[in-house]
Structure 1
Amino acid sequence: MTYFRVQSPKAVLFASLFGLFCFFLSSPTKAEIGAHILIDAKSGDVLYERQSTRKWYPASLTKIMTAYVTLKAVRDERITMTSPVVQSKNSISEPPSKMGFKVGTQLTVDAALKIIMIKSANDVAVALGEAVSGSEAAFIAEMNREAKRLGMRNTRFVNPHGLPDNAQVSTARDMALLARAFWYDFPEARQIYKYPGIKFGRKPLRSANRFFLQRVPGANGMKTGYICNSGYNVAATVTRRGRTLIAVVLGARSGLERTALTRELMDKGFKKRGSRTNVASLTGSSGNPPADGYCRRNKKPGVEAMMARFDMQPKAKRGFLSALAPTDDPGSVLRPGTAAVSKKSPASAMDSVTLPNGKTDWNAVLDRTIGPERLEYRPITVTTGVPRGAAVVARLPADDVPLPTTKPRLAQAAVVADQAAQVQAEEVNPQAAAQPAYGSLFRKGKGFAVPVPTPSPR
């Protein structure tokens, strides 16, 4: 004989809620942000991280290493900031983003660095590598040697720009190591990537990092990147009250999500002190890069999703069921999950970012998810050409690439030009007088964050 036990309504409700809770915990998530890490720049302490040792495609974060190798060559006196960079037939063949200069166009190392760090031009990145090392292949070899020296164990470079190539991989942890070395080894470079755009002739070219720079308190910038297989990447720094934090985010679904998560990590990080884990001690690999077509599987989040996840305005208390939804709290180390997106965001939040005609007020969305605009848009002017007296290169055949001289010296005309530029900068910004002139700290033998091996006598 079979007996049936009648359960009370309370027991049934409890069982249903418990089942719903287990469903939220166990159900796979469709969208993801691949990996992120937040470290203290001075100590290297890991404040937050998620899958930071998982291999990922760096995209244009690659150009941080391109700039690092270039500035190291300047410090080693192999080139100067006014040495010529010439567009070769090889360099102009790169796909966009690019400047599109004609073969033989010359610009200085300084201008090339500004272009690759702000505009992220792929053709100029190749030309810069050719100017530093004599060929693109030789420059890539230098990039990999530096990566090995810095302890970037899961990183391999096969090009100097980050365009799609599944052989070019890194991790959030490795990119944090590089960003930290770039921050401390070349403080002069901070004067490059702090700008929200460049102006070339009458053409303004905006940086993909401009909202972060203009809206996040203490933002210094650094570098963004995007290819379909990587999603939206960024390495960014923020300094507040003398303390600098470095964040690396890989695989965001949109530029806005990338910036909003970076802002959120920074805000939480400045409230935290110390950690038992150092970025250098993170070892191993926690997974392979995403399969091809990553961006097509992870559609950009809509306005409601962004407001539900990143709105900085005080929210109404959430109900019991909404409290059970999974979150992507940066404090949950190595725990997969995504933002809990309700079917309908609070009416007050959506009303505040909707115009009378029903369209989205994107300025209001930016104010609520990243922060109000604090700095106006001021691009830096970039020109082609090299100063009089620099190692000017004669007109070259299409396939020729100039090699830097062994130890070129700045011509007197270039020195005068640098001094005049500094005086002009001090007139515009009186605080500039208290700062060292750009490039004045490039001295051979100056210490590096990671010791540089002594060259072989051979």
Structure 2
Amino acid sequence: MRFPRKFAGIFGLVFLALVLSPSAGAKTKSRTEPQTHKVTSKPLAATVRSKVGRYPIVGKKSDRARLASSGVSRKTTRKVARIESERVASRAVEEADFDSAGNPLLRSAAFYVQDVRTGQVLLEKNSSSVVPIASITKLMTAMVVLDAHLPLNEVLEVSEDDVDRLKGTSSRLAVGTRMSREELMRLALMSSENRAASSLSRNYPGGQKVFVDAMNAKAQLLGMGDTRFYDGSGLNHSNVSSARDLATLVSNASHYPLIREFTTTAEYTAELAGGRIHTFHNTNSLVRSPEWQIEVSKTGFINESGKCLVMQAWMANKPLAIVLLDSWGRFTRLADANRIRRWLEEVLPRNGAKMAGTPPSAQTSIN
């Protein structure tokens, strides 16, 4: 059958319109889009993996299954990332420990490092500034108690008068707790118990006022002209001193065997009111480190003073008084102490400095 020429022309126009229609183009495009997306996703994933290293990002369930079968878990990848982050941070801190001349970069606002034997000042900054000293006060509290030769086995009771009304600090020693004078002194020095220090001063002959007067008289006797006390715990921010004066305090405190023992005891378990057993810990974690030879230690903190640390310790075969005041970071005072030790034992010898000395076989003792 032969189509008329007129119908053949019409059929050709319809066919051409179908070929050029948008729907036909859309179908063609929709078929190619998945392939295009798949191709572009590969470089993106490769970029992400290159940023995190050889450990893949764990996301989909199928990813977790593959990692489980290969022995790598999400927990492992996070741990590796955390450890690497800590290493980077540690290297940054170490690099900032010393300046280009090898001197330690200490962060405490005031510090003083002195050779106790010769009196040589090795490091100092703002050492004559008079500032609040918080619980460093308790070293003088213990010295005054021991100077009075009061019976250490006498049992004292924590009372309402020992509760901190000034700062509102808490205590593990409940009102009614009964302890010997020696135990209270141990907890005041080792764990910085404020109620223990208050009880010691309150049970001094003549009471707290006479006790504080004795503290100030002792400070004057030792030549601590920058020092003034108003209580035996250090909660009163009017208890002030200078880094130079505190070096004198810590070196004199080292002559008391009980102060040396109590300030360097790592922990102590005591029976409290009601038969409750509690373990107290030293507020200076350095006393638990085998790298340190600490003879006397005391920490302190109130808002007005910042974090403080005084020690007498052996470094590079020398007995050193170390005073670090107004340190605001959580670990600043400890980090500064470690910088001083590294400076004396590693940096100075490497630079040819002589740090000779021998620990004494016996110490001069009081009490």
TM-score normalised by length of structure 1: 0.49
Of the two structures, which has the highest relative contact order with CA contacts closer than 8 Å and spacing of 6 or more?
Answer: 1
Distance 1:172 1:99 in 2: 30
Cα pair 1:230 1:250 within 8 Å, conserved: yes
Counterpart secondary structure, 1:155: coil
Counterpart secondary structure, 1:81: coil
Task: Judge which range, 148-157 or 234-243, deviates more.
Answer: 234-243
- Counterpart for residue 62 of structure 1: 137
Q: 1:68 to 1:269 in 2, by over 3 A?
A: farther
- Counterpart for residue 373 of structure 1: none
- Counterpart for residue 106 of structure 1: 178
Residue 235 (structure 1) aligned to one of 291, 310, 318? 310
Query: Which runs of structure 2 are paired with 1:245-284 in the superposition (5 Å)?
Result: 245-269=320-344
| Letter aligned with residue 207 of structure 1 | N
Unpaired runs of at least 5, structure 1: 1-30, 274-433, 444-458
- Counterpart for residue 198 of structure 1: 268
Pick the structure with greater CA Rg.
2
Q: 1:72 to 1:255 in 2, by over 3 A?
A: farther
Distance 1:231 1:216 in 2: 26
Task: Judge which range, 54-63 or 246-255, deviates more.
Answer: 246-255
Task: Judge which range, 238-247 or 108-117, deviates more.
Answer: 238-247
Counterpart secondary structure, 2:292: coil
Cα pair 1:40 1:47 within 8 Å, conserved: yes
Give CA deviations for 1:12-32 in whole Å, capped at 9, x if unaligned.
Answer: xxxxxxxxxxxxxxxxxxx96
Cα pair 1:130 1:136 within 8 Å, conserved: yes
Are 2:163 and 1:88 aligned?
no
Residue 248 (structure 2) aligned to one of 177, 181, 193? 177
Distance 1:159 1:119 in 2: 18
Query: Which runs of structure 2 are paired with 1:37-76 in the superposition (5 Å)?
Result: 37-74=112-149
| Letter aligned with residue 209 of structure 2 | A
Counterpart secondary structure, 2:204: helix
Deviation at 1:183, TM superposition (A): 0.9
Give CA deviations for 1:98-134 in whole Å, capped at 9, x if unaligned.
Answer: 233323x432121011100111111111110122233
Are 2:164 and 1:131 aligned?
no
Deviation at 1:80, TM superposition (A): 2.2
Distance 1:223 1:101 in 2: 23
Query: Which runs of structure 2 are paired with 1:145-184 in the superposition (5 Å)?
Result: 145-165=217-237, 167-184=238-255
Unpaired runs of at least 5, structure 2: 1-105, 272-276, 349-360
Deviation at 1:146, TM superposition (A): 0.6
Q: 1:212 to 1:195 in 2, by over 3 A?
A: closer
Cα pair 2:112 2:324 within 8 Å, conserved: yes
Distance 1:435 1:44 in 2: 19
Deviation at 1:442, TM superposition (A): 5.7
Cα pair 1:155 1:168 within 8 Å, conserved: yes
Distance 1:39 1:272 in 2: 17
In terms of fraction of residues, the more helix-rich structure is 2
Counterpart secondary structure, 1:69: helix
Distance 1:129 1:32 in 2: 34
Cα pair 1:196 1:214 within 8 Å, conserved: no
Give CA deviations for 1:147-205 in whole Å, capped at 9, x if unaligned.
Answer: 1111111111111111143x221111111110011113x13421111112222344222
Give CA deviations for 1:294-332 in whole Å, capped at 9, x if unaligned.
Answer: xxxxxxxxxxxxxxxxxxxxxxxxxxxxxxxxxxxxxxx
Deviation at 1:219, TM superposition (A): 2.8
| Letter aligned with residue 177 of structure 1 | T
Cα pair 2:250 2:296 within 8 Å, conserved: no
Cα pair 2:264 2:282 within 8 Å, conserved: no
Counterpart secondary structure, 1:132: coil
Give CA deviations for 1:228-267 in whole Å, capped at 9, x if unaligned.
Answer: 1111100012225753111000011224110110122233
Distance 1:271 1:49 in 2: 19
Task: Judge which range, 142-151 or 217-226, deviates more.
Answer: 217-226
Distance 1:93 1:233 in 2: 20
Cα pair 1:81 1:108 within 8 Å, conserved: yes
| Letter aligned with residue 174 of structure 2 | F
In terms of fraction of residues, the more strand-rich structure is 2
Distance 1:97 1:53 in 2: 33
Distance 2:119 2:305 in 1: 25
Cα pair 2:107 2:332 within 8 Å, conserved: no
Q: 1:87 to 1:254 in 2, by over 3 A?
A: same
Counterpart secondary structure, 1:43: coil
Q: 1:84 to 1:200 in 2, by over 3 A?
A: closer
Please report the RMSD computed on the Cα atoms of aligned residues, expressed in angstroms: 2.7
Are 2:300 and 1:225 aligned?
yes
Cα pair 1:48 1:269 within 8 Å, conserved: no
Distance 2:170 2:289 in 1: 23
Distance 2:362 2:119 in 1: 26
Counterpart secondary structure, 1:238: strand
Distance 2:260 2:329 in 1: 25
Q: 1:101 to 1:134 in 2, by over 3 A?
A: farther
Query: Which runs of structure 2 are paired with 1:253-402 in the superposition (5 Å)?
Result: 253-269=328-344
Cα pair 2:316 2:344 within 8 Å, conserved: no
Are 2:189 and 1:189 aligned?
no
Q: 1:164 to 1:255 in 2, by over 3 A?
A: farther
